[in-house]
């Protein structure tokens, strides 16, 4: 069993991504080839309003969207109905402890930028391992420690602007004192996954989408040059770490 990490005093709830976000397309292009063959049953751990979840629906027989926020789930359910997917997409409320799904009943679990927000990280990973079938696939992303900015911001004294550069590079104890979410290093994150009975199939740095750059000309230039590819070998150019693993 993995050790429980220290708590984050300012741990914040996650915010759902928008369907227009470049990051959603990049994640899907990166992981789609790792989806189980056939028409798997997929669970999205921390689905939010379903913006990312819907990109996987056409590849699955059934999709379970799990989230702690009833408002997000309501919007997710409404979107599923609008798209004519009510019979294949099932929003499920998650109370933050046990996942209300039977043991070894899921072929694939996806979870993007969620683990850093959960109160009990070890329990979340334990539950994901429990509900996956042997040989099932886990696809998970977390924020990258070596990106230049703390992507979730930090509650810094005397600094109302919370996107101060290099906060994520601070010593762990200092970072966790002010940060709003956990932060991860690639090797350590892989170890967390393997500790729960998974074998790593792929591990990549996902290139920063530059969505926070509001000046459109600059954003377009950065996306065409430094940040044009979906993945990078340089940790300082990546906002997320994406790991694909198989339950053994």
pLDDT along the chain (248 residues), means of 10: 55 79 95 95 97 96 96 96 94 94 97 95 97 98 95 80 83 91 96 97 97 91 95 97 98
Per-residue pLDDT at 214: 86
Homologous superfamily of domain range 22-247? Vaccinia Virus protein VP39 (3.40.50.150)
The domain ranges of the chain are 22-247
CB-based contacts of 194: which residues, under 8 Å, 6+ apart?
200, 245
Per-residue pLDDT at 211: 87
Per-residue pLDDT at 161: 64
Q: CA–CA separation, 116 vs 114, rounded Å? A: 5
Q: Are 65 and 92 in contact (CB under 8 A)?
A: yes
* Neighbouring C-alpha atoms within 13 Å toward the C-beta of 244: 16
Q: Are 8 and 182 in contact (CB under 8 A)?
A: yes
Per-residue pLDDT at 2: 41
* Neighbouring C-alpha atoms within 13 Å toward the C-beta of 142: 23
In Å, how far are 64, 106, 108 from 37, measured between CA atoms? 18, 13, 10
- DSSP code of 79? H
Q: CA–CA separation, 200 vs 90, rounded Å? A: 28
Q: Comparing C-alpha atoms, which of 128, 192, 151 is closest to residue 12? A: 151
Burial class (CB in 10 A: 0-12, 13-18, 19+), 87: exposed
What's this model's pTM, rounded to 2 decimal places?
Answer: 0.92
Sign of the CA dihedral running 225, 186, 194, 104: negative
Per-residue pLDDT at 164: 79
Q: CA–CA separation, 118 vs 68, rounded Å? A: 10
């Amino acid at each position: 069993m993995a050790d429980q990490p220290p708590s984050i005093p300012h741990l914040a709830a996650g915010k759902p991504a928008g369907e227009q976000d470049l990051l959603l397309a990049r994640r899907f292009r990166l992981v789609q080839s790792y989806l189980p063959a056939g028409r798997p049953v997929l669970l999205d751990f921390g689905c939010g309003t379903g913006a990312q979840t819907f990109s996987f629906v056409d590849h699955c027989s059934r999709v379970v969207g799990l989230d702690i926020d009833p408002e997000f789930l309501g919007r997710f359910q409404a979107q599923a109905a609008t798209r004519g997917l009510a019979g294949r997409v099932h929003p499920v409320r998650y109370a933050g402890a046990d996942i209300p799904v039977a043991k070894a009943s899921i072929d694939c679990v996806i979870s993007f930028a969620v683990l850093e927000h959960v109160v009990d990280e070890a329990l979340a990973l334990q539950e994901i391992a429990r509900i996956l079938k042997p040989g099932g696939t886990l696809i998970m992303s977390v924020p990258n420690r070596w990106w230049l900015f703390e992507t979730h911001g930090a509650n810094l004294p005397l600094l109302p602007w919370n996107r101060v550069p290099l906060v994520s590079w601070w010593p762990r104890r200092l970072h966790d004192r002010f940060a709003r979410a956990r932060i991860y290093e690639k090797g350590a994150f892989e170890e967390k996954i393997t500790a729960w009975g998974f074998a790593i199939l792929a591990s990549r740095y996902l290139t920063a989408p530059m969505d926070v750059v509001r000046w459109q000309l600059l954003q377009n230039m950065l996306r065409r040059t430094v940040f044009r590819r979906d993945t990078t070998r340089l940790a300082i150019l990546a906002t997320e770490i994406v790991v694909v693993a198989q339950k053994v």
